[in-house]
């Protein structure tokens, strides 16, 4: 059966075939879920014949921060991780839009408090823009609370955190929804299983603050910056569950999700129940920037081929 991941991966700095990219079944990542990961995107720009990795430096910095908080030792240098990722893209001769995955993991076969050895794996999955970006999604509030910062580190992309997100997403999908909105253990809006939440009220953007047990999302930071540059007021604050029903528009954002309009919450339409005008405008700006059709924020795009 064909696999979705590109045929060559990078394991500990070496290019290996996909079907030989192994860690031991008793490694720390398998036994304890001790790993941190990143999802990035490489955008193919056909006119320029170039692929742009979006905000590579910020993703690597978050990965290093995650390794430190998870007490993985050593924390890899950003240059080593960038080389591993870019070599993997070039080895696969990727000339299409891809989702890029990097996992820094606890290797070896030791007990719970082991901090090393650590390993690094990188791979790519071809992934064009999904139809949810255009059409939007129907979302449910999860019965599972978002993990709290005093139990697990939500602002780190720790592999183990996703047991929480997965439970919430499975629940929503079982019930016929396309996405899930999680609340904090204090009952306030937190985020989705793999995306941050925004809503529009009276022309301003509102998003849960970074103490709402969210991942410090790079797309969230991007949307905030692009919105403010366009003169839109952005509030980062605590949001109540029922306030979402008062919103004119809402959307998800994340590297994988990009920007997806939220059409309804718990089967109650958000605004007009269709993708909103401000959401559409932000989508246009966002895609122009990530795909390199606009020259603004060139510092966010790492070219793969002209840099080879």
Interface with ligand PMP by CB under 6 A: which residues? 39, 157, 165, 191, 194-196, 215, 217-220, 254-255
- 119 versus 194: smaller Cβ distance to ligand PMP: 194
- 114 versus 214: smaller Cβ distance to ligand PMP: 214
* Nearest distance in Å: CB 263, ligand PMP: 20
Burial class (CB in 10 A: 0-12, 13-18, 19+), 5: middle
* Nearest distance in Å: CB 272, ligand PMP: 26
Any idea which residue has 């992934």 for tokens? 127
- 51 versus 63: smaller Cβ distance to ligand PMP: 63
- The side-by-side arrangement of strands in the sheet containing 98-106 is 14-17, 8-11, 118-126, 98-106, 35-45, 50-54, 301-303
Cα 268 vs. chain centroid, distance in angstroms?
A: 26
* Nearest distance in Å: CB 77, ligand PMP: 21
* Nearest distance in Å: CB 132, ligand PMP: 15
CA dist., res. 9 & res. 18, Å (int):
6
- Residue 43, both tokens: 């955008």
- 153 versus 276: smaller Cβ distance to ligand PMP: 153
- 165 versus 212: smaller Cβ distance to ligand PMP: 165
Torsion, Cα of 206, 209, 215, 218 (10° steps): 60
- Give CA angle at 97 (91, 103), nearest 5°: 60
* Nearest distance in Å: CB 192, ligand PMP: 6
């Amino acid at each position: 059966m064909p696999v979705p991941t590109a045929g060559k991966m990078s394991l500990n700095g070496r290019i290996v075939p996909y079907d030989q990219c192994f860690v031991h079944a008793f490694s720390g990542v398998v036994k304890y879920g001790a790993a941190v990961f990143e999802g990035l995107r490489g955008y193919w720009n056909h006119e320029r014949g170039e692929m742009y990795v979006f905000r590579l430096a910020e993703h690597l910095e978050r990965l290093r921060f995650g390794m430190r908080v998870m007490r993985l030792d050593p924390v890899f240098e950003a240059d080593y991780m960038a080389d591993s990722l870019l070599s993997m893209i070039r080895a696969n001769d990727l000339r299409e839009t891809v989702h890029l995955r990097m996992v820094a993991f606890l290797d070896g076969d030791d007990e719970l408090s082991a901090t090393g050895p650590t390993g690094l794996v990188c791979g790519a999955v071809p992934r064009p823009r999904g139809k949810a970006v255009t059409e939007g999604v129907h979302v449910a509030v999860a019965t599972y609370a978002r993990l709290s910062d005093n139990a697990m580190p939500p602002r780190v992309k720790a592999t183990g955190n996703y047991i929480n997100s997965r439970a919430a997403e499975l629940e929503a999908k079982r019930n016929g929804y396309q996405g899930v909105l999680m609340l904090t253990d204090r009952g306030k809006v937190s985020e989705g299983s793999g995306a941050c939440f925004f809503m529009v009220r009276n022309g301003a953007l509102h998003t849960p603050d970074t103490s709402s047990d969210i991942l410090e999302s790079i797309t969230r930071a991007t949307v905030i910056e692009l919105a403010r540059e366009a003169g839109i007021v952005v509030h980062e604050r605590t949001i109540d569950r029922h306030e979402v029903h008062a919103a004119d528009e809402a959307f998800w954002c994340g590297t994988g999700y990009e920007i997806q309009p939220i059409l309804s919450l718990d089967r109650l339409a958000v605004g007009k129940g269709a993708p909103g005008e401000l959401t559409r405008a932000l989508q246009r700006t966002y895609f122009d920037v990530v795909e390199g059709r606009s020259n603004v924020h060139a510092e966010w795009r790492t070219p793969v081929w002209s840099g080879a």
